[in-house]
Amino acid sequence: MDEAVGKRQTRFKLTKHVERTNAPAFENSPGRLSPRGEQRSSKRSIRREKMAESPFVFLRGTFWRWAETILEVCPDLAQAPTTLAVGDIHLENFGTWRDEDGRLVWGVSDFDEAAEMPFAIDLVRLATSALLAKPDREMPAREVCGAILAGYRQGLEEPQAIVLDRDWAWLRQLVVVSDKARAKFWKKIAQAEYKPAPRRYVEALASAMPEANLQIRTAPRTAGTEAVVRQFLTLEATRWQYVTGVSDESLVDPESWYHDYALLSRPGNDEVQLALFRDYATNSPLYPRVHEYFRTTGVPLLAVWGRGDEIFGPDGARAFADDLPDAEIHLLDGGHFLLETAHDDVARLIRDFLGRRLSSG
């Protein structure tokens, strides 16, 4: 594989896992358009003020930009073996929980941006956060990085939980929270507006739990989402939707994404799009009714999908078979806008499907 292509694919893998999260975007970064009306957003102003407090806080608040540029700044990292990594790892991305024996365990506590990537990217980001968190430290940067690397190696050679009550009592004193802070946290959780998540997500989560038949309640997280959603309104993101997953980008007419972007850029349309994204949350409560309809009616179904679609992945097509075993599912070479490159094949499949179903009905 060409080295440049490999880096580009790795960067896509990084960014596609953060574009739907709540990590604030670095709106004024090179190559990105500042969304209209951003000065009207008090939340964005507060976030920027927070990020301006220190380089460490800025690092925390700009993971999107980190994911986009890390392989440009450190291209050698692309050569490291790929594994499932944390992604947005930093010093404050660690926490505690109780294991099945009730022991207090320390480790990474936030996997919102977990993705497959070269393992060294996690190490570089963690080391960067450590150096930025305490610029007046006495320990030289080389020793800080060496300690992180040594700990990583030890974890690979002897993987085990870090039990604070046993071997790490000194660390326990640093991370234990007061009863007041604990009560504040659980009050916030109790006040969350619970909404059902898609069935397949809940089932996957439940299967990973240590106990069976646990009651799982889900709630949407909304803090900071607008800045991330606005990334879909840029020219770069519009083009990405057209060409990603397409084996030959020359088959896609650039006029397609330029036309879409022109429509997205009409005055006031950004607010319309944001309202549409917010309305998507009303879809998931309807999923159980859709699944029930499929199971009870056995309705004929044809799903023609882009194999390279990174917005609605191929598993979304295969999932129809869970409720409709006779569903006809076809994965074609193409991306999200499959008709741009495979319209003849799609039309042929639709005509064949309708011809058979209508003649037999």
Domains plus CATH for the chain?
3-96+107-161 (no CATH), 285-361 (3.40.50.1820)
- One-letter amino acid of 217: R
- Amino acid 225: pLDDT: 56
pLDDT in tens, the chain (361 residues): 445 444 444 444 454 444 444 333 333 333 333 333 443 445 566 667 777 888 988 988 888 888 888 988 999 999 999 999 998 999 888 888 877 777 888 888 888 788 888 999 999 999 999 999 888 888 999 999 999 999 999 999 999 888 887 777 777 777 777 777 777 877 777 777 778 888 888 888 888 877 777 888 887 765 555 666 777 788 888 998 999 999 999 999 999 999 999 999 898 888 888 888 877 777 777 888 999 999 999 999 999 999 999 888 898 899 999 999 999 999 999 999 999 999 999 999 999 999 998 887 6
Distance of CA 10 to the CA centre of its chain: 14
**Which among 223, 238, 192 is positioned nearest to 61, based on CA atoms?**
223
Q: Which residue has the tokens 């580009």?
A: 8
Q: For 153-183, b where at least 16 C-beta lie within 10 A, e where not — what string?
A: eeeeeeeeebbbeeebeeeeeeeeeeeeeee
- Amino acid 11: pLDDT: 47
Residue 194: CB partners within 8 Å, gap ≥ 6? 217, 218, 219
**Region label for 334, one of left (φ > 0), alpha (ψ between -120 and 50) or beta (otherwise):** left
Asked whether the beta carbons of 67 and 87 are under 8 A apart, the reply is yes
- Amino acid 257: pLDDT: 92
- Amino acid 253: pLDDT: 93
Give the side-chain half-sphere CA count within 13 A for 203.
6
Distance of CA 192 to the CA centre of its chain: 21
As a whole number of angstroms, the distance between CA 279 and CA 8 comes to 32
pTM greater than 0.95 (yes/no)? no
Structure token digits, residue 30 = 């090179």
Residue 344: CB partners within 8 Å, gap ≥ 6? none
Q: Which residue has the tokens 């011809």?
A: 355
